[in-house]
Every structure is written in structure tokens, then in C-alpha cells.
Structure 1
Amino acid sequence: MSPLSNIKQNVVASDGSTGAGAGRQLHSSALKSLPRDMIALSDYSAEQIAGLIESAVYFKHKAKHEGQAFHPDQPLKGKTIGLIFSKRSTRTRVASETSAAYLGGHALFLGKDDIQLGVNETLRDSAQVISSMVDGIFARVGPHRDITTLAKYSSVPVINALCEENHPTQILADLMTIWEVFGKRRPNANGILDVFRGLRLAWVGDANNIAFETIATMPKCGISVNMCSPAGYPIPEYVRNLAEAGAKTTDAQVKYFSDPIEAVNGADIIVTDTWVSMGQEDEKAQRMRDFEGYQVSKEMAQKGNANKDWIFMHCLPRKPEEVTDEVFYSDRSVVFQEAENRKWTTIATFNALLGNKSN
């Protein structure tokens, strides 16, 4: 029996109650029709995304409020998840290993110095070999083609733990955090997607993989997006098209800016990320010049007329030039809650895509 079937009328809230904006409309049935792989959330419907968040909320509640250290049914019992990491990681590695353990499975870490991935063996060959010995692959790679190649030739589900174009588990954690905050402010909302409807997120920073996943996912869930990046750092046309298609289904808005003050106007959520990603170290000096004026601060929010109860999010690790300490360590900041939710959404994803079907 699915653990979600135990939720009667409401999704449990992060504080242990069953109200708090949890709503009454559930989307757990949408988890029965998920794609085999999770490459990008653009492949998932809003209802499927909501179902994963509901599942994550449930697992967090059971662990933190009812003391459930491990899933009683052990849906990954006897299963191994291959964790292929070609880039270093903190949150993603901790979240994935603890998630596998919570569900009764075994996480096999395969770092870039441990295997021949794309070095002395092709990705195709590695995918076929590794997938013949594990029950799922969670891969943190570089180019987008690496994750799609792994999925194409793998005989087991592949979950994208990060690539240069996408980071789906991060955005699931972001959405879960947004629900936890705004669900309490909207106690009469009828479900997770109803909590999201009408919110506005301002992205102030680089046009990177987190930005791509954000703008391709949030509008179809009902969240309007103000996307702000400097001239010369555009959002690709295909990502814009995904954003516009999603917005049409919910009446959300997608707007583009280069002036951060304009971008935060009316924002409920202000988000930024690193300006210099791994592999871009040689560009740091130029990027520091290009992103001058992009540091998120209380002054920026005030000048731009952000909504009075705006919150700040960042996927971490954070550097001081991206956001002031005054914001980062303030009551408006939910960055550590957001980081923790990487675990709960990874548990939900592992359970849905890799768990025993009887659980």
C-alpha cells in the first residue's frame, strides 16, 4: 500500500498539522504514470510534480514528527542505486545516500576517479554495464548529452542529479519549500497547486541550469517568473518556449529583465545562484564585472517594491557577492530549509521511480 494512501483529507504540513494550507486536493494518483527517467521536470505534468511534493511532505512529516527513522515497508529493500558523480557535491550526495538508506536500499557511490565513465570507456558502454548491475542510476554529470546518453542506453531508470541544462531534484526541493512557507499563509488553498497559483518569483542572477529548470517548471505550476540576467547571458529560446507553454496552462506570467530593481517588483520569492559555476573559473573576473549590481539585498527589494513578506532562496553553496549577509541570514531566508528538502524530495523521487510497485 502506498504511504500516501494514509493521508485522509489533507497533506500534512511541515509543522505536523494537517491544515496550514495543505489543502484537500491530492495528486498521488499522478505518480502511477511517471516517465521511467527523470531528466528534466519539463517531462512531468504539474500534477505529477505536485504528487512528488506531497510524497516528500509525507516522508518529512513521518521522520521529523513521528520519529520514523526508516521507511517501514523498505521499498528499496534488496536494491542498489548507482550514484555516478562526475562533479563534486555536498547536498546532492548527502541527500541521495541518506534517501537510499531511508528506503532500505544501498547507495553505491561512483565518483569520477572511481570508474571509466567517458574516459577509457564510452558512455554507452558504461551505461549498459552499470545498469546491468544496479536497479537505478542517479547521475551528476556535465553536458546534457551525458545524461540523455546514460538514459538511452541504461536498462534501469536514470535520475538527473545535475547537468549543464537541468537540475530537477533541486527545483522539486524549491517547490516543496515554497509550499511549506506559503501554504501556512494560504490556509484555505485547495491543494499544493492552489497554494502556488498567483505567486511571483524573481530570479536575479546567471542564466544557468537552475534558472532553466526554474523557468521551465514554475509557470506550469502556477508561479509567475521574472527572469533577470545581464545582457549577454540570455535564456535559450527552447527554454523560453517551455516557459511560455507552461504559463498558458495556468495564466502565469513570464517576463525578462536585465535590471534587478525592475525584476523584483511584486516578487514573493527572490532567488539567486552562483555567478561562477564549476568549470567557469577562468571567466570569474569578467562575470564579476557583468553581474555588478546583482547582489540581492534588502535595499534592492525595497527599491524594487518586492512584496512585504518576500522570502529569499539559494540552492547553495553561496558566495557573499551574490547576496548580503543581512538577507542570507535573515528571517526571510529559507536556504537551509530548502537544502534539507533536497533529502525529502529525493526520497520521494527514489520511491516513485525505483521503489517496489507493491509499496
Structure 2
Amino acid sequence: MATRHFLTLLDLSPEELHYLIQRAITIKNRLRAQGPTYAPFSNRTLAMIFEKSSTRTRVSFETAMAHFGGHALFLSPRDTQLGRGEPIEDTARVLSEMVDIVMIRTFSHAGLETYAGASSVPVINALSDDYHPCQLLADVMTWTELRGSVRGRTAVWIGDGNNMCHSWINAARQFDFQLRVCCPEGYEPRQEILEAAGDRVTLLHDPAQAVVDADLVTTDVWASMGQEEEQARREADFTGFQVTEALLDSAKADALFLHCLPAHRGEEISETLLDDPRAVVWQEAGNRLHAQKALIEFLLLGRVDH
């Protein structure tokens, strides 16, 4: 099989993404009970390159490899030649000779594309400044587990038009649901990403209007990694965009709330929202593990039918 990378949701077909979601659910419900008897990653190594800090990403990828019989290596710029100026392409070629798959959490999406272009082993985007596709696998998995097919349903993104928002837009295209993006003026997602989604995505600026009859509501922190110096200005600009229990009351009675975490209680969400039964963020976080097992399995082995 030719080397496949997963830099955005658009790197896989809608049909392949549907397979991944169903495979992740199977892995969670059936294969987890089998324990170490299923070890498809035996003698396989995942290199994990982190330029941004992480809790969920590192733990989920490292645990995924361990559960399925493989090994994960944690690499930071402080500990590798990347931090001393080695060209990205050279690092990619070297690691391709030594490991089976690479996961990168970084700032520059262009740099990630450069790395993948020189890599002969699969490369996974574990977050860049432009996209966070692995989180969307877990999000759509959670939505599917709890409510069935997401096709034709309506999700609402409230907050910054950031990397998470971009991946939600791509998800609307690939999984065929409607997305309402609701953000303050000046914080819209990139125009070309919006336009490519066509009529699946609607841009709004009023949260109360956006959530009416929605099936799912999601948000993210107002200042992402690298934007900490903008915190005070963003708090002012995002006034009125906090997701609260009262706001969710305007959505459908069985609406779900997702958040990629970490959450800043009292900012983008109310202090108590994560205690609301509509908030399924802990299940969502746990599903990172299962979705990424399915993704690594697919990139290394192709489709599996058990």
C-alpha cells in the first residue's frame, strides 16, 4: 500500500472516514476486552514529535501503541537535532529509516506538509496551527456513539475560527452534516476553507441564533497556544460568546456539548457546564485513544475486518 498521511480530514475519503469511526467503536467495545491477545503493532514504533505541550495527545497515542503491542518514542525539539536547526526534510528521511509511523504536534502546518513530503512512512497531524483532525475523529465518534449517524444533522461551533474550527468545517464536508460557525467579527475562519465547504457551513455572529434546534454545540478556548499575550483583548472581544446551560436550552432537547479540552471554566464555558449531562467531554477525551488506534491501524495495515 502506498504511504498515506493524515494531515487533514481531506486526506481520507468520506467512505474511509466512515470506516475509521466504525472501526474505532469496534475497537473500544470489543477489542478492548480481548486485552493483549490483539497486538497488530508488535515490533512497530511510533515517533511522537512535540513542539507544543500536550496531555491528551501524548497519553492517547502512547497508550494506543502500548495496548496494541507497539512502542512510542517521545521527541521534543530540546532533545533532538530539530531543535538545533536540522532541516525538516533531513529529520523526516532519517526517522523513516528507523520508525514505522510519525506523529507531529507543531505550530506550522506548512512545516508539517514539508515533513510529510520527505517521509516514506505515514505522518499524522496531532495538531498544527491550522488543523486538528485527530480531535475530530474522536468528536464524530462520540457523536455517532450517542446519537447514531451524523449525516444531515446540525452542529454549532461557537468561538474563534481557529484550527479546531477549520477541522469542524472539513468534517461537515466529509461526514455530510450542517455546521453553523458562530464567532465575533474579526475572528472568522479562513475564507478559502469556508468557501470549499459550500452550503454545508453557515457563518453567524449571534450565539443565541446559532444554537436554535442544533443537535450538537461545541467550542474551544478563546486564546490558543501561542496567543496567550492576546488573552485580555480576546476576553473582551468574545464577550457574549460563552456557552452556558441556558444557551444549550435553545438547542434540541437531546443536544450534546463537546469541548476538545483543556477548558477554561468561566471563560468560553460557564463554571458548571461540564457537570451538565449534555456535556460528554470525558467520553470525548477518552475516545481519542480508540480513534487513534483505528487511525494508526489503518495507516499501517489498511482495512481490518475483525
TM-score (norm 2): 0.94
Most deviating of 282-291 and 34-43: 34-43
2:42 touches 2:70 (CA, 8 Å); kept in 1? yes
Cα gap change, 1:45 to 1:356, in 2 (>3 Å) = closer
* Structure 1 residue 150, shift from structure 2 partner: 0.9
Segments of structure 1 that go 5 or more residues without pairing to the other structure are: 1-32, 184-194, 248-252
Once the two structures are superposed, residues 112-148 of structure 1 have per-residue CA deviations (whole angstroms, 9 ceiling, x without a partner) of: 3211225321111111112211111011111101210
SS in 2 for 1:206: coil
- The one-letter code matched in structure 1 to 2:219 is T
1:34 touches 1:44 (CA, 8 Å); kept in 2? no
1:1-359 map, 5 Å? 36-64=4-32, 67-70=33-36, 72=38, 74-117=39-82, 119-183=84-148, 195-244=149-198, 253-302=200-249, 305-320=250-265, 321-355=267-301
- The one-letter code matched in structure 1 to 2:217 is I
- The one-letter code matched in structure 1 to 2:293 is I
* Structure 1 residue 91, shift from structure 2 partner: 0.5
Once the two structures are superposed, residues 160-198 of structure 1 have per-residue CA deviations (whole angstroms, 9 ceiling, x without a partner) of: 111111111100000000001102xxxxxxxxxxx1122
- The one-letter code matched in structure 2 to 1:268 is D
Q: CA RMSD in A?
A: 1.8
- The one-letter code matched in structure 1 to 2:253 is K
Cα distance in 2 for partners of 1:46, 1:261 equals 31
2:260 touches 2:285 (CA, 8 Å); kept in 1? yes
Cα distance in 2 for partners of 1:357, 1:136 equals 17
* Structure 1 residue 254, shift from structure 2 partner: 1.7
SS in 2 for 1:312: strand
Cα distance in 1 for partners of 2:207, 2:37 equals 44
Query: In the comparison of the two structures, how many residue pairs are matched?
Result: 304
* Structure 1 residue 75, shift from structure 2 partner: 1.6
Cα distance in 1 for partners of 2:2, 2:139 equals 20
Cα distance in 2 for partners of 1:55, 1:63 equals 10
SS in 2 for 1:83: strand
Cα distance in 1 for partners of 2:286, 2:223 equals 23
Once the two structures are superposed, residues 235-283 of structure 1 have per-residue CA deviations (whole angstroms, 9 ceiling, x without a partner) of: 1122113322xx5xxxxx3211111111111211010001111110111
Cα distance in 1 for partners of 2:21, 2:37 equals 17
SS in 1 for 2:186: coil
Cα distance in 2 for partners of 1:161, 1:71 equals 28
SS in 1 for 2:197: helix
2:159 touches 2:238 (CA, 8 Å); kept in 1? yes
TM-score (norm 1): 0.81
Name 1:186's counterpart in structure 2.
none
